[in-house]
Structure 1
Amino acid sequence: MTTSDSISVSTNQDGLSFINIDNAHATAKVSLFGAHLMSYCPKSDGKERLWVSPHAYLNGEKPIRGGIPLCWPWFGHNHGQEKGTLPSHGFLRTQTWSIANSKDTSEGTELTLLPAFTKAKGFDHKCEVKLVIMIGESLSVSLITTNIDDHEFSIDCALHTYFNVEHIGKTTIDGITGDYEDKTRESAVLTTPTPYFVSEETDRIHFCEAPNITIVEDGVRTTEITSSGNDTIVVWNPWHGAASLSDMDAFGYKHMLCVETTVTQGYGLQPNETHVLTQVISTAK
């Protein structure tokens, strides 16, 4: 394993380990619990791109609220069993990962992380999973799944990114068009609004072709989000529902917006096939 001179590892009082990255292009922070990106701040404008709840659990008891949680091998409760019998969004975000490799290049710092296991209740297939992160002028996150079994299996997955915004009331989304499924309206299929503002509880599965470029503008920062390997983009904000979440302030919804690169329609992975889900977060030019 090669190692990067730009990273250091720290541990909090509850025993969680964090990778801290500081290179010529950006600073970032990754929790090994969940392989969870918690911070990305490009030095070109000094603006933090990710939002983490001040009340997030950082003791390993629950998934971390904010940053970039990993959803795999199902999204939400779409696992074919009764709701509540299996963990929401799968089991990658609640296990401790290991560092397989880290290196510095002219583009930035690259990390490769591996989960402790890929087989658990609800998913009994042989596969290899890794997360590859490149921290540079842009942040690239790739969740990579390879089928090493002798039969096809299906996965859903997501990079469930919480973006930091100055105020949700001043934030616009550009680049998403077409129809979406509205989970707050009994899965009604509606047309994406133009201009696109969030002004209520929002949980929308947008059907789109990949790659897709989405722009989030909040009056302070402009962020470009490039998605590939996905079949949908999910836009989520709990609005007043944040008050019912134990790990989120009642008014936290005003300063975050989830724009998630997702596979929600099921991807059939053939033997020896690899699927790559990637989200690239950039300072818009």
Structure 2
Amino acid sequence: MSIAPSITINETSGITFLNIDNAVATAQISLYGGHILSFIPKSDNVERLWLSPHAYMNGEKPIRGGIPVCWPWFSDDHGREKGELPAHGFLRSQVWQLKSSEDTDRGTVIVLTPAFTRADGFEYDCQVTLEIVVGSALTVNLTTTNTGIVPFIYNTALHTYFEIPDINHVELKGLKGSYKDKTENFAVKQTPEPYRLNQETDRIHSDAAEQLMLFNRNEKHTQINSAGHDSIVVWNPWQSAASISDMDAFGFKQMICVETAVTSGRKVEPGEAHTLTQIIS
């Protein structure tokens, strides 16, 4: 298989990284976890993704930051006791394979597949592909195809960590309606206006907004487009970051997770495919 000219490959501490540098953007992808670590459009040279300086980059634990792939369940919603199965599923802690790459008019197109999709907690026949397009925008398509003879239900998310200058001056626009507050035992609350964070936040918004905007001091910082989702999850650990081993105690000030997600279960019939999409610009 030939590698696209815009891609260079290096290996550090047993992890293989794809480094993309084309006419419109740079990016970095870890094959451990099928994990996008960086995306910088050359139009403004501003990093869109936050990566913890204390992230485990040796395969010992899932990487903290970037875009973790949550599949086939979200959080600990796997039907077992908490901790019995890995949080957010088992794709983010395995080595993915590079199936193809090419430079196109859209940008650098990369297709990855996980080593396996059947494991304890999800024993169905399916195929998962992650298509990443590094262009003037970053397009991420996570496609699950049912290759078996029975339907299955799964949850999934692109758990994106966005880098921001200061959480105290960031506003998220585009959400409405109610959300479930995980910090208060899933209490149902109304989306605030303006939408700013000032405490630990873990919210599942049932409003599957197709376009969201992050503003910093009233200036556009990042646009987030989504498709194939049923919810948007917003997360920031705030001062609880001090208890997270792979995160700086004050790291919460430079990040906000805005996740394109399926949290209410997506049924996939035999022969059917479902794609979760997030586009970042």
Instruction: State the TM-score, normalized to the length of structure 1.
Output: 0.97
Write out aligned runs for 1:1-285 (5 A): 1-12=1-12, 14-209=13-208, 212-219=210-217, 222-282=221-281
Determine the C-alpha separation between the residues in 1 that align with 2:71 and 2:126: 12
Task: Provide, for residues 175-210 of structure 1, a one-character-per-residue CA deviation record: whole Å limited to 9, x for no partner.
Answer: 011110000111011000010001100000001236
What residue identity is the alignment partner of 2:123?
A: D
RMSD after superposition: 0.9
Instruction: Please identify, of 240-249 and 2-11, the stretch whose mean Cα deviation from structure 2 is larger.
Output: 2-11
Determine the C-alpha separation between the residues in 1 that align with 2:188 and 2:204: 9
Determine the C-alpha separation between the residues in 2 that align with 1:217 and 1:275: 31
Q: Structure 1, unaligned stretches of length 5 or more?
A: none
What residue identity is the alignment partner of 1:199?
A: N
Asked if the contact 1:51/1:66 (under 8 Å) is kept, the reply is yes
Quote the offset at 1:2 in angstroms: 4.9
Determine the C-alpha separation between the residues in 2 that align with 1:85 and 1:209: 30
Match of 2:224, SS state, is: strand
Match of 1:254, SS state, is: helix
Quote the offset at 1:221 in angstroms: 5.5
Task: Provide, for residues 88-138 of structure 1, a one-character-per-residue CA deviation record: whole Å limited to 9, x for no partner.
Answer: 000000000010000000121000001000001111000000100000000
Length, aligned pairs only: 280
Task: Provide, for residues 9-67 of structure 1, a one-character-per-residue CA deviation record: whole Å limited to 9, x for no partner.
Answer: 0111x111100000001000000000100000000000000000000000101000000
Question: Identity over aligned residues, as a percent?
Answer: 54
Determine the C-alpha separation between the residues in 1 that align with 2:18 and 2:208: 34
Asked if the contact 1:133/1:141 (under 8 Å) is kept, the reply is yes
Determine the C-alpha separation between the residues in 2 that align with 1:21 and 1:133: 11
Quote the offset at 1:217 in angstroms: 1.2
What residue identity is the alignment partner of 1:238?
A: P
Q: Structure 2, unaligned stretches of length 5 or more?
A: none
Match of 1:259, SS state, is: strand
Determine the C-alpha separation between the residues in 2 that align with 1:131 and 1:190: 34
What residue identity is the alignment partner of 1:191?
A: Q
Determine the C-alpha separation between the residues in 2 that align with 1:131 and 1:144: 6
Quote the offset at 1:253 in angstroms: 0.2
Match of 1:197, SS state, is: coil
Determine the C-alpha separation between the residues in 2 that align with 1:72 and 1:209: 19
Asked if the contact 2:208/2:232 (under 8 Å) is kept, the reply is no
Determine the C-alpha separation between the residues in 2 that align with 1:185 and 1:121: 30
Asked if the contact 1:47/1:221 (under 8 Å) is kept, the reply is no
What residue identity is the alignment partner of 1:5?
A: P
Quote the offset at 1:263 in angstroms: 0.2
Return structure 1 stretches of 4+ with deviation > 6 angstroms.
none
Quote the offset at 1:3 in angstroms: 3.0
